[in-house]
C-alpha cells in the first residue's frame, strides 16, 4: 500500500508512542499487557489506513466537475460567495470522515487564478458556519469552459492541518491532487448558477472519479 508524503511525521510519532506504551505495558502488566497492546495495534493500523494513496485512473474532463475528495455530499444550495466570486453561486459540500481518503483534488481543469490561506476556528466540519469561520484555504480556477470555480478546504474539529501545493498560474487538471487534509474535514465547491448538478445530498463520492456536476461550455 502506497502512503502519502504527509504521513511521515504522523507515522513517526505514532510509532514512537506505540513502542513506548507497548514496552511499558509489557514491563508492568506482563500478560495483561495485551489488553492495551491489541487496541493500540488497531489504532496504529488506522493511522496507516488514513494516509493510503489509492490507484485511480483519472480521465480528462472539460465540462464535468469531478468530486475533489472521498466523502459524503452534505449540502447543495444557492449561497453568496463573498471572498472571490462576490455573488451568488451553487455550493456543493462534501464531508470527509477520518476513514476516508483525504487527498484533495482539482474539481475542474483550467488555470489557478487565486489562492489564500485563512486561519480560524475548529467548529465541527458539518457546521454551516465552518465555511467562513474555520481554518481554511480558498482556491479559484478559471475552467476550460471559461467559468470561475472556487473550492475550499475546511479544517474540522479533528483536522488540524491543511496543506495545499498549488500556486497562482499553475495548470489545474480535474481529478489530480492539489492538497491534503489530516483527519476528517470538508470540501466546499462553488459553481456558476447555471451548472447542472448531478449529485444529491447523501451521495458517497470517490475523489477524482465521480462526476458531481456539469458546466455549460
**pLDDT tens, residue by residue, 111-165:** 999 999 998 776 665 556 666 678 889 999 999 999 999 999 998 766 557 899 9
pLDDT at 155: 83
**pLDDT of 33 higher than 60:** yes
132 vs 12, higher pLDDT: 12
Count Cβ atoms within 10 A of the Cβ of residue 85 and give its class: 0-12 exposed, 13-18 middle, 19 or more buried: middle
pLDDT at 152: 95
CA dist., res. 161 & res. 182, Å (int): 6
CB atoms within 10 A of CB 107: 31
**pLDDT of 56 higher than 70:** yes
- pLDDT tier, 185 (very low <50, low <70, confident <90, very high otherwise): confident
User: Is the entire prediction scored with pTM above 0.85?
Assistant: yes
Question: What percent of the chain has pLDDT above 90?
Answer: 78
Query: Mean pLDDT across the stretch 19-47?
Result: 94
Query: Mean pLDDT across the stretch 74-93?
Result: 96
Of 93, 131, 143, 185, which residue is the catalytic one?
185
**pLDDT of 104 higher than 90:** yes
Please confirm, yes or no, whether 185 is among the known catalytic residues.
yes
Amino acid at each position: 500500500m502506497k502512503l502519502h508524503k504527509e504521513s511521515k511525521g504522523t507515522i513517526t510519532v505514532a510509532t514512537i508512542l506505540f513502542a513506548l506504551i507497548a514496552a511499558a505495558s509489557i514491563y508492568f502488566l506482563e500478560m495483561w499487557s495485551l489488553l492495551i497492546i491489541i487496541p493500540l495495534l488497531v489504532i496504529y493500523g488506522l493511522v496507516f489506513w488514513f494516509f493510503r494513496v489509492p490507484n485511480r485512473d483519472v480521465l480528462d474532463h472539460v465540462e464535468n466537475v469531478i468530486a475533489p475528495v472521498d466523502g459524503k455530499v452534505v449540502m447543495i444550495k444557492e449561497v453568496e460567495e463573498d471572498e472571490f466570486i462576490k455573488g451568488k453561486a451553487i455550493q456543493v459540500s462534501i464531508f470527509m470522515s477520518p476513514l476516508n481518503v483525504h487527498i484533495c483534488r482539482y474539481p475542474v481543469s483550467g488555470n489557478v487564478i487565486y489562492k489564500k490561506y485563512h486561519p480560524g476556528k475548529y467548529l465541527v466540519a458539518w457546521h454551516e458556519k465552518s465555511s467562513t469561520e474555520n481554518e481554511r484555504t480558498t482556491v479559484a480556477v478559471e475552467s476550460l469552459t471559461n467559468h470561475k470555480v472556487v473550492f475550499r478546504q475546511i479544517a474540522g474539529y479533528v483536522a488540524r492541518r491543511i496543506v495545499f501545493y498549488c500556486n497562482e498560474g499553475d495548470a489545474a487538471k480535474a481529478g489530480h491532487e492539489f492538497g491534503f487534509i489530516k483527519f476528517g474535514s470538508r470540501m466546499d465547491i462553488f459553481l456558476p448558477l447555471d451548472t447542472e448538478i448531478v449529485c444529491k445530498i447523501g451521495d458517497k463520492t470517490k475523489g477524482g472519479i465521480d462526476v458531481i456536476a456539469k458546466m455549460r461550455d
